[in-house]
Amino acid sequence: MKKIQHPATIAAHAAGALDPQSGGVVPALQPSTTFLRDENYDLVRPDNIYSRDNSDNLRQAEAVLQVLENAQETLLFPSGMAAIAAVFRTLPNGATALVQSHIYWGTTAWIMDFCERRDITLITAEADDLTDTAATHDPDLIFIETPSNPWLKTIDIQAVKDTGTATLVVDATAATPILTRALDHGADIVMHSATKGINGHSDVLAGVLSTNSKDSKIWQAVRDDRKMAGAILGPFEAWLLTRAMRTLPLRVERMSQNAQALAEYLLAHPAVKDVFYPGLPHHSGHKNAQKQMIGGFGGLLSVLVSGDRVDALRITGKLQLFLRATSLGGVESLVEHRHSIEPHTGIPENLIRVSVGIEHIDDLIADWAQALDN
C-alpha cells in the first residue's frame, strides 16, 4: 500500500492498530501489570516485562501521535503537567530557563516553584519579546505556548529556535498536531495536554511529549525519568485515547469552523469590546498563525465583553448551551470566567474564555445572542 500521509486516514485507522490475536479491527485492552517468563526464565515477549514502562496500549496510542506529529519518538504521561515536569527535571542546578509569560497559569506556577527549589534562573518574557530575550540571555531551555491560553498569542516557533542553542519546548495544546506540527517549525520537543483536544471527550487525563531527536541527551533523560519515576499513562486511558484520536481530525475541523464563525459574530456585536482568536485578521498573531496552522485556527478563543465583572458573570450565567466548566478541546462547548479562577494573574474581570465544541454553529451563536441581550 502506498504510504499513508494524510492525518485523517492515519487517525481513522489508529496508525494501523489492530488485535492480531482475535483479528479484531479494534485493538484489545490489555490491563496486565506483569508478564510471563518461560521455564528458562526468558520473557515470553522480550518487550514486555512490567507495565511501568511496557504496555501495548500505551505503545499504540504513542504510535498514532508519533505519526501525526512527524516525530522520531513520542511518550505519553498521566497528565500534561507530568509531561512538563519531566522536561524541566532534566535541567541541572544553575541552569537558565526562559518561559513565555501569560500562558496557562498552572504551568507558570509549577515552573516558578520548581526553579526556585532547584536554583534554576527563570526568565520570563512577553510573546513579542521572546526572540530578543532569548538572544540576550542564551538560556538552556525555552518554553513557549502557541496559541497561548487564554490570550491566544501566537509565536513564530522557528524565529525563537533560531536565537541560539537552547532546547525549545512548545506547548501546542490549543492547536493539536492536526493544525500545527511544531517539530516541523523548529521545536525540539512538543508538548500537549492530551486531556484537551487530542482526547476531546472530557474523560481522559493525559499528557504527551514528542521529539525530532530521540538520541539527544535531554530526551534520553526524559525517557529515563518517566520510567523510573513511574509517570506512566494506564492502559485503559491509553486505549480510550487511541479510540478518541480516530475522530481527531474531524473534531478539530468542526471546532475550528465553529470557533471562526463565533469569533466573527462576537467581534461584530455591540456588547463585545474585543475577541482574541488567531483566525481574526486584527489579531496580533494572525500572520504567525497563518504560517504555522494548517486547516483552521482551533477551538479556543477569549472574549472581552463591555462592562465589568458583574456583566461578564451575568453573560456566562445566561449561557445555556455553553457549559460553565474548566477545560478546553472537548466536543461540548465550555465557557469560563477566568478572573474567578485566577484573579491573582491580572486577568481582566470582563474576560470570558470560550472552548468551542462540535455543536451546530447556529445553536452556538443563538446561545450567545440571548446571553448578550440585556
Domain boundaries in the chain? 7-245, 248-372
Whole-angstrom Cα distance, residue 359 to residue 257?
11
Share of the chain above pLDDT 90, in %: 91
Closest CA to 205 of 226, 174, 236: 236
**CB 50 within 8 Å of CB 34:** yes
pLDDT digits (tens, 9 = 90+) for 321-369: 999 999 999 999 999 999 999 888 889 999 999 999 999 999 999 999 9
Q: What is the mean pLDDT of residues 53-80?
A: 96
Question: pLDDT value at position 215?
Answer: 95
Q: What is the CATH code of the structural domain delimited by 248-372? A: 3.90.1150.10
**How many Cα atoms sit within 13 Å of 88 on the Cβ side?**
28
Using alpha carbons only, what angle is made at residue 53 by residues 50 and 59, rounded to the nearest 5 degrees? 110
Q: pLDDT grade, residue 101 (50/70/90)?
A: very high
Give the per-residue pLDDT at 2. Answer: 53
pLDDT at residue 44 is higher than 80: yes
List the strands of the sheet with 351-355, edge to edge: 272-276, 300-305, 351-355, 334-337, 323-324
Tell me the mean pLDDT in the region 171-177: 98
**pLDDT reported for residue 1:** 44
Answer yes or no: CATH 3.40.50.700 is held by domain 7-245: no
> Which of 40-49, 162-171, 308-317, 345-354 shows the lowest mean pLDDT across its residues?
40-49
For the chain, give the percent of residues with pLDDT over 70.
Answer: 99
What pTM was computed for the model? Answer: 0.95
The predicted-structure confidence for 110-165, as pLDDT tens digits, reads as follows 999 999 999 999 999 999 999 999 999 999 999 999 999 999 999 999 999 999 99
β-pair partners for 108 = none
* Reported confidence tier of residue 4, pLDDT bands at 50, 70, 90: low
With 60 as the cut, is the pLDDT of residue 41 above it? yes
Asked if the model's pLDDT at residue 264 lies above 80, the reply is yes
Band of residue 18 on the pLDDT scale cut at 50, 70, 90: confident
Banded model confidence at residue 302, pLDDT cuts 50, 70, 90: very high
What is the DSSP track for 14-76? GGG--BTTTTBSSPPP---SB--B-TTS-BSSTT-SBTTT--HHHHHHHHHHHHHHT-SEEEE
Structure confidence at residue 51 (pLDDT): 86
203-218 tens-digit pLDDT: 999 999 999 999 999 9
Whole-angstrom distance, CA of residue 120 vs CA of residue 138: 14
